Amino acid sequence: MSSTEYLLCIAGMGLVTYIPRWLPLFYLTDRRLPLWLVEWLTFIPACILSALIFPAILIHPDTGRVAIMHPAFLAAVPTFILGLKTRSLGGTVLFGMSLYWLIQHLM
């Protein structure tokens, strides 16, 4: 590919990324959304995070099957409990990373 084609490709990717973000912002700027829709939209971040995290925790990377004896799952359960009890993001992340490392080296 020539440098012009690379630049056109990068500009096209930027445009494809920018338009879906700009259209709702432009269209909904002066409109009031119904309360039920605003409440429904508050669940989207948790749903997306769950969709990204749960397959990585529950599915073994080698077999592609659900495995509860997988190091990620074994570390996630106590980390989740600690996070609920302490509400400390930094402590929970450090605990989870340390526990995952420990479990991985023990298995």
Q: Which amino acid is at 62?
A: D
- Pair (81, 58) in one structural domain: yes
Q: Which of 48, 90, 56 is nearest to 75 (CA)?
A: 56
- Pair (27, 48) in one structural domain: no
List residues bridging with 59 in a β-sheet.
66
- Pair (2, 48) in one structural domain: no
- Domain extent at residue 10: 1-31
- Pair (89, 61) in one structural domain: yes
- Pair (57, 93) in one structural domain: yes
- Pair (16, 53) in one structural domain: no
Whether the pTM exceeds 0.85: the reply is no
Q: What is the pLDDT of residue 30?
A: 87
Q: Does residue 78 belong to any structural domain of this protein? A: yes
Report residue 59: phi and psi, to 5°.
-105, 125
- Pair (25, 49) in one structural domain: no
List residues bridging with 82 in a β-sheet.
none
Contact 103, 72 (CB under 8 A): no
Q: Does residue 36 belong to any structural domain of this protein? A: no
Mean pLDDT, 10 residues at a time, over the chain (107 residues)? 92 95 89 92 93 90 86 93 95 96 92
Domains held by the chain: number: 2
